[in-house]
């Protein structure tokens, strides 16, 4: 049998071409399916059932119990839409804040809700947790100096065939379906871009060029913003924050969110402890539990000492957030270790202390020693 090299080569070429072409086509199909799955989110057609619940039932962990007669209407869903945050069962509510947010959600308002407070004091999470209890959507976006007004509504992304598809963002979804949009770190965004939100806050529609249509705010749309500064542009701790436009600031009610009271922060850390420790381990005794509770109480005292110091010193010192405090305990429980120091100190530095300048860190360790003793 004679082998026709040319024919074989030609065949191999066609084969490999069609093989390659098939591969490309298959890959395209796969990509398209994936892209469609990712971008074809359609607001739920489910309708919630309106249920009346007792406020005491709704906000179980709260510093001041609501009146026993207070009843609130909430949405209950058979299948929860994606925008509704998951409930954190042991979340602690501050009654004053809950009341302000609830009033804001339930009344018809022509202003936004601005939560100002140091990092990690619970601004974003309280809005999400109130929304979770009410069964309403809460879309969170984080702003930066590069965020432009139209970015808040959505993005155009390339699709197969050279087409573009418009993906709705949090603000668009909340405007369209109703629900909360939280713009986090709003003071990082350019003030001149932010003022474009002014008309929207008065209930006026906004033109979205990518969809070539006007978007009318749902009556259930609520805008919440959070920031670490009050938009005066004078807090050197928060790099990249701006002085905000007075007319923009004027369109919001403002609340200051502080750290949690000491006993609540202790309970919160106890929950972290309960979740992390395997109480079925026979080596774990009630003595350990008592010791950890004492440790937790001391950690909160240290955190409050450092917060007070950061406050009185003014300057640039970063106070420890609730987040850092939780992480400190988590690292202790994980047995995080660094040669030459005890576990509590190693965890303290990894969770928070290494953020500080050297002189601040030395001062912070002194504060720890005052509470934990010189062994710290």
Ligand X SMILES: Nc1ncnc2c1ncn2[C@@H]1O[C@H](COP(=O)(O)OP(=O)(O)OP(=O)(O)O)[C@@H](O)[C@H]1O
Binding site for ligand X (CB under 6 A): 91-92, 117, 119-125, 184, 226, 228, 260, 268, 322-323
Which CB sits closer to ligand X, 72 or 269?
269
Q: Is 228 in the site for Mg ion (CB under 5 A)?
A: no
Token pair, residue 261, equals 């009271």
Find the part of the chain contacting Mg ion (CB under 5 A) among 61-69, 168-176, 178-186, 203-211.
178-186
Q: Minimum CB separation from ligand X for residue 123, in Å?
A: 4
Which CB sits closer to ligand X, 177 or 184?
184
Which CB sits closer to ligand X, 124 or 345?
124
Q: Within 182-211, which residues bind Mg ion (CB under 5 A)?
A: 184
Q: Within 113-142, which residues bind Mg ion (CB under 5 A)?
A: 124
Q: Within 53-72, which residues bind Mg ion (CB under 5 A)?
A: none
| Helix and strand totals (H; E) in the chain | 13, 11
From the list Mg ion, ligand X, none, partner contacted by residue 125 (C-beta under 5 to 8 A by kind): ligand X
Which CB sits closer to ligand X, 307 or 323?
323
Find the part of the chain contacting Mg ion (CB under 5 A) among 89-97, 153-161, 179-187, 270-278.
179-187
Q: Any bridge partners for residue 308, and if so which? A: none
From the list ligand X, Mg ion, none, partner contacted by residue 260 (C-beta under 5 to 8 A by kind): ligand X
Which CB sits closer to ligand X, 59 or 292?
59
Q: Is 227 in the site for Mg ion (CB under 5 A)?
A: no
Please give the span between the terminal C-alpha atoms of the chain, in angstroms, as a whole number. 88
CA-wise closest residue to 71 among 85, 50, 49, 56:
56
- The full length of the chain comes to 376
Q: Is 102 in the site for Mg ion (CB under 5 A)?
A: no
Q: Minimum CB separation from ligand X for residue 89, in Å?
A: 10
Q: Minimum CB separation from ligand X for residue 220, in Å?
A: 23
Cα angle 30, 33, 36 (rounded to 5 degrees) comes to 145
Find the part of the chain contacting Mg ion (CB under 5 A) among 88-96, 168-176, 181-189, 333-341.
181-189
Q: Minimum CB separation from ligand X for residue 37, in Å?
A: 29
DSSP string, 84-134: SPPP-TTPPBPHHHHHHHHHHHHS--SSEEEEE-STTSSHHHHHHHHHHHH
Q: How far apart are CA 205 and CA 201, in angstroms?
A: 10
Helix (H, G, I), strand (E, B) or coil at 235: coil
Q: Which class for 2: exposed (0-12), middle (13-18), buried (19 or more C-beta within 10 A)? A: exposed
Q: Minimum CB separation from ligand X for residue 227, in Å?
A: 8
* Backbone φ, ψ for residue 213 (5° rounding): -150, 165
Find the part of the chain contacting Mg ion (CB under 5 A) among 108-116, 180-188, 276-284, 308-316.
180-188
From the list ligand X, Mg ion, none, partner contacted by residue 119 (C-beta under 5 to 8 A by kind): ligand X
Residue given tokens 């965020």 in the structure block: 147
Q: Minimum CB separation from Mg ion for residue 124, in Å?
A: 3
Which CB sits closer to ligand X, 59 or 172?
59
Q: How far apart are CA 362 and CA 102, in angstroms?
A: 43
Cα dihedral 277, 280, 283, 286, rounded to 10, equals: 70
Token pair, residue 281, equals 């381990």
Which CB sits closer to ligand X, 228 or 242?
228
Q: How far apart are CA 181 and CA 199, in angstroms?
A: 16
Token pair, residue 322, equals 């609730």
Which CB sits closer to Mg ion, 124 or 177?
124
Chain residues in the site for Mg ion (CB under 5 A): 124, 184
């Amino acid at each position: 049998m004679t082998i026709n090299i040319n024919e074989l080569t030609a065949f191999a070429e066609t084969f490999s071409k069609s093989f390659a072409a098939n591969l490309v086509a298959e890959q395209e199909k796969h990509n398209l399916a994936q892209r469609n799955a990712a971008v074809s989110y359609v607001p739920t057609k489910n309708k919630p059932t309106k249920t009346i619940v007792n406020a005491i039932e709704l906000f179980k962990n709260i510093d001041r119990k609501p009146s026993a007669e207070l009843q609130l209407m909430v949405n209950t869903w058979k299948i929860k839409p994606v925008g509704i945050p998951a409930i954190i069962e042991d979340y602690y509510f501050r009654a004053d804040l809950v009341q302000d947010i609830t009033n804001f959600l339930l009344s018809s308002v022509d202003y936004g809700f601005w939560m100002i407070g140091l990092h990690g004091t619970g601004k974003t999470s309280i809005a999400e947790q109130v929304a979770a209890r009410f069964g309403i959507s809460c879309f969170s976006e984080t702003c930066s100096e590069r965020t432009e007004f139209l970015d808040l509504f959505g993005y155009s992304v390339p699709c197969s065939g050279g087409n573009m598809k418009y993906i709705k963002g949090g603000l668009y979804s909340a405007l369209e379906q109703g629900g909360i949009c939280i713009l986090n770190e709003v003071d990082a965004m350019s003030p001149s871009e932010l003022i474009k939100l002014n008309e929207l806050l008065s209930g006026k529609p906004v033109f979205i060029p990518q969809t070539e249509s006007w978007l009318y705010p749902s009556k259930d749309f609520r805008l919440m913003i959070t920031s670490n500064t009050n938009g005066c542009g004078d807090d050197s701790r928060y790099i990249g924050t701006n002085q905000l436009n007075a007319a923009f600031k004027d369109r919001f009610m403002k609340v200051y969110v502080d750290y949690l009271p000491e006993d609540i922060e202790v309970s919160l850390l106890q929950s972290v402890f309960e979740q992390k420790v395997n109480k079925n381990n026979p080596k774990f005794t009630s003595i350990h539990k008592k010791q950890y509770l004492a440790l937790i109480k001391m950690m909160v005292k240290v955190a409050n000492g450092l917060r007070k110091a950061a406050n009185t010193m003014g300057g640039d010192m970063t106070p420890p957030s609730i987040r850092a405090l939780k992480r400190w305990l988590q690292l202790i429980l994980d047995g995080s270790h660094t040669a030459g120091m005890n576990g509590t100190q190693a965890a303290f530095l990894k969770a928070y202390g290494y953020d500080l300048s050297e002189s601040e860190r030395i001062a912070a360790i002194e504060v720890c020693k005052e509470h934990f003793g010189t062994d710290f």
